[in-house]
């Protein structure tokens, strides 16, 4: 079905600036947000876009991997002398892109694998920086949700002069905005992919819904538990018969998935893993 002149102009803008908001597209098109939304729906119906989030058809393909989960900024501060509790300590700090899902996506991209990231960042300076750094590494970030009412997640670690961890604060509530409804809006990104990687930062309901969407799309799922408490988030999905094809736990995380302690012995580990 042919595109109208306005639809063609809008599609060209989306190709040029895939992270643009509807308001930005409307401004550049000399139109209104409501009109842009109508044209986007028409582009989806005509197959020029695969759904909300401005996913272009050529983004898909059997070689692409979709990674879903946490993205945050890692901040590491290190004292330059013996740490003194309860007061200010001289030191140095560094900031780097982080988050389990985001890190997996970047490593896949650097290995030459086409990869899309589905995550959440705030509409703040840290979110802008995190998306720029991730996109520069070769990751498609067009499906990352820019949530208006949350701050971009951070992981802040304070190390002593020898590099030992003194305290860490994980402020990662942003990923709670990756609801089943948000995943449903982005289901087009799963079309035609062979693998989906999900991390344990996802809320229980969102993880189960992602497994269901992946099954509908015919994509296999790898689940990275992240931690012992977060590994248990997969259990409701397992009880509902939504089982990933691959799970990558350590021994304590495997125990959390099974709901019981697992001896750190090869035979016991094989038997326990077979129960998943």
Q: Determine the CATH number of domain 1-49.
A: 1.10.10.10
Give the CA distances from residue 138 to residues 88, 132, 190, in Å, rounded to whole numbers and listed in that order.
Answer: 39, 10, 18
DSSP string, 43-96: HHHTTSS-STTT--GGG--TT-EEEES--EEEEEEEESS---TTS---EEEEEE
The residue extents of the domains of the chain are 1-49, 61-71+100-147+174-274
Residues 6+ apart with CB under 8 A from 112: none
Considering the segment(s) 61-71+100-147+174-274 as one domain, its CATH architecture is 3-Layer(aba) Sandwich (3.40)
Given this model, what pLDDT does residue 58 score?
A: 47
pLDDT at 16: 66
Neighbours of 170 (CB within 10 A): 14
Question: What is residue 166's predicted lDDT score, i.e. its pLDDT?
Answer: 92
Q: Give per-10-residue mean pLDDT for the chain (276 aa).
A: 81 70 80 83 72 52 84 95 91 94 94 93 94 93 91 94 91 92 90 92 94 93 91 88 88 82 65 60
């Amino acid at each position: 079905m042919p595109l109208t002149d306005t639809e063609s102009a809008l599609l060209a803008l989306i190709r040029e600036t895939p992270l643009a908001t509807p308001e930005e597209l409307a401004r550049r098109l000399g139109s209104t947000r409501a009109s842009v939304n109508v044209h986007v729906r028409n582009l989806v119906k005509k197959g020029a876009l695969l759904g909300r989030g401005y996913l272009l058809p050529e983004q898909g393909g059997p070689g692409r991997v979709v990674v879903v989960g946490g993205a945050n900024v890692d901040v590491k501060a290190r004292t330059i002398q013996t740490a003194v509790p309860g007061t200010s300590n001289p030191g140095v700090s560094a900031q780097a892109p982080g988050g389990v899902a985001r890190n997996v996506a970047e490593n896949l991209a650097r290995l030459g694998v086409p990869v899309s990231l589905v995550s959440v960042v705030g509409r703040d300076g840290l979110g802008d920086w995190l998306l720029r750094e991730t996109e520069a590494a070769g990751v498609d970030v067009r499906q990352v949700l820019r949530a208006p009412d949350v701050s971009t997640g951070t992981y802040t670690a304070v190390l002593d002069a020898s590099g030992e961890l003194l305290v860490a604060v994980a402020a990662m509530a942003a990923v709670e905005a990756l609801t089943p409804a948000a995943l449903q809006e982005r289901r087009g990104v799963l079309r035609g992919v062979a693998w989906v990687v999900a991390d344990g930062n996802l809320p229980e309901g969102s993880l189960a819904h992602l497994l269901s969407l992946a099954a509908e799309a015919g994509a296999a799922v790898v689940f990275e538990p992240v931690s012992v408490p977060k590994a248990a988030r997969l259990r409701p999905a397992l009880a509902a018969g939504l089982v990933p094809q691959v799970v990558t736990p350590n021994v304590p995380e495997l125990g959390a998935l099974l709901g019981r302690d697992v001896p750190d012995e090869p035979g016991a580990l094989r038997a326990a893993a077979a129960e998943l």
